[in-house]
């Protein structure tokens, strides 16, 4: 059953069963064969992220010294991004509640020691659409707060197969990943996800985003 963590922040525990997770993992492996993972860097400092990334769809999110942005091509190969995984698109249709399709599917690859600091997803022109997150591999500790970075935060363990909708009043909340749980009962499944693309105990997270307003209309 879905759980409303905050207005517009909806957790769907175990939304993908084992068969759906295997299907999505196979689709992601095909995507990564066409668009190899790259290591983004922080604007200005050039410090590398601890998470490797790739994208599917018409647009992909990248970060380097020039800043955060969406672009239609892979930053290293120069080729257009491959199509989004069909299983991820089906999840958007079922859960996003938005009339327009997503334009970017960001694939985050976490090793056991990787993390993602608190941040807002605000590089999209259309903030009326939610961000949809899908989890594969090892569980992770997801931390979320409010619209201000200084707001109190709470934590939630995201497990493989979980879906998370970040939308409505929560669309611009600060959120991040504090740690990856690379041991325990789910270790065998985590190690089986994307072999050769993730280290043992790694995690794969997909986030689907709508970048531009539908039909080119300006977003108020």
Q: What CATH number should be reported for the domain holding residue 64?
A: 2.60.120.590
Measure the CA–CA gap between 51 and 111, rounded to whole angstroms: 7
Q: Tell me the pLDDT of the chain averaged across its residues.
A: 91
Average pLDDT over residues 173-186: 82
The tens digit of pLDDT for each residue in 123-172 reads 999 899 999 999 998 999 999 999 999 999 999 999 999 999 999 999 99
Q: Residues in the chain, how many? A: 220
| 161 falls within a domain | yes
Instruction: Please state the domain count of the chain.
Output: 1
Give domain status of residue 165, yes or no.
yes
Q: pLDDT by residue (tens digit) across 29-61? A: 999 999 999 999 999 899 999 999 999 999 999
Confidence grade of residue 13 (pLDDT, cut at 50, 70, 90):
very high
Residue where the block lists tokens 């993908």: 16
For residue 48, what is the DSSP state? B
Dist. CA 162–CA 91, nearest whole Å: 11
Q: Could you tell me the CA-to-CA distances from 53 to 50, 61, 116, 145, 150 in Å, in that order?
A: 10, 9, 12, 24, 28
Is 219 contained in some domain?
Answer: no
pLDDT at res. 163: 98
Global confidence as pTM: 0.92
DSSP state of 186: T
Q: Rounded to an integer, what distance in angstroms lies between the CA atom of residue 56 and that of residue 51?
A: 17
Domain of 15 in residue numbering reads as 3-214
Residue 206 lies in a domain: yes
How far is the first Cα of the chain from the last one, in angstroms, to the nearest whole number?
Answer: 33
- Say if residues 97 and 130 touch (Cβ distance below 8 Å): yes
Closest CA to 173 of 184, 181, 164, 183: 164
For CA atoms 168, 169, 174, 175, the dihedral sign is negative
Q: Which helix (H) or strand (E) holds 94?
A: helix 86-95
Query: Is residue 220 one of the residues assigned to a domain?
Result: no
What is the DSSP annotation of 96-160?
T--SSPPSEEEEEEE-TT--EEEE-----S-TTSPEEEEEEES-EEEEE--SSTTS--EEEEE-T
């Amino acid at each position: 059953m879905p759980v409303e963590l905050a207005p517009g922040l909806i957790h769907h525990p175990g939304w993908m069963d084992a068969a759906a997770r295997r299907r999505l993992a196979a689709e992601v492996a095909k995507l990564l064969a066409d668009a190899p993972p790259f290591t983004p860097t922080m604007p200005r400092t050039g410090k590398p992220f601890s998470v490797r990334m790739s994208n599917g769809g018409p647009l992909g999110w990248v970060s380097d010294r020039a800043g955060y942005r969406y672009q239609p091509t892979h930053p290293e190969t120069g080729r257009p991004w491959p199509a989004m995984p069909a299983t991820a698109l089906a999840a958007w249709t079922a859960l996003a509640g938005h009339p327009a399709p997503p334009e970017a599917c960001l694939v985050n690859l976490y090793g056991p020691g990787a993390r993602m600091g608190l941040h807002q997803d605000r590089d999209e022109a259309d903030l009326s659409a939610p961000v949809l997150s899908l989890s594969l591999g090892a569980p992770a500790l997801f931390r979320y707060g409010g619209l201000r970075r200084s707001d109190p935060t709470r934590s939630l363990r995201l497990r493989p197969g979980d879906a998370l909708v970040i939308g409505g009043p929560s669309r611009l909340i600060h959120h991040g990943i504090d740690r990856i749980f690379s041991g325990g009962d789910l270790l065998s499944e985590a190690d089986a996800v994307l072999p050769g693309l993730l280290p043992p105990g790694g995690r794969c997270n997909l986030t689907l985003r709508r970048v531009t307003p539908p039909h080119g209309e300006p977003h108020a």
